[in-house]
Amino acid sequence: MRTQIEYLINAIVLAQQNPEMEIIIAVDNDELAENGSWTKHKIKSAEISCYYEEDEKIFTDLDELIDDMEYRLDRRVPEDEAMAKMKQVILIKTGGE
């Protein structure tokens, strides 16, 4: 298993190789404590990923974005239409300890 520093170094390398990309940190909301407090998280991965944000939702999976768009728009959404909304980012995923 990688250490936290190894994940950070990976993120730095990705950022250096792709300086035009924004760095996004995605936190699993299911692990948040109540009353506005936060649970302690560790970096689980750093990678180049598709990313789309709408309101408070973050999508990093094209199929899930298509499902959400089809539900909201009440019509079939072609993959290329959904993919056009996504951008490539350096994505750091975290999880609870």
The string of pLDDT tens digits covering residues 29-46 is 665 656 666 567 788 889
Rounded Cα distance between 9 and 93, Å, is: 14
Q: Are 15 and 21 in contact (CB under 8 A)?
A: yes
> Residue 12's pLDDT is what?
94
When pLDDT is averaged across residues 2-13 and rounded to a whole number, the result is 91
* Sign, Cα dihedral of 95, 50, 91, 58: negative
> Residue 73's pLDDT is what?
94
**Which residue ranges make up each domain of the chain?**
4-96
Q: Model's pTM, two decimal places?
A: 0.68
Residue of 42, 49, 45 whose CA lies nearest to 65: 49
Q: Are 68 and 4 in contact (CB under 8 A)?
A: no
Scanning 1-97, the segments in alpha helix (DSSP H) are: 4-17, 62-73, 79-85
3-state secondary structure of 28: coil
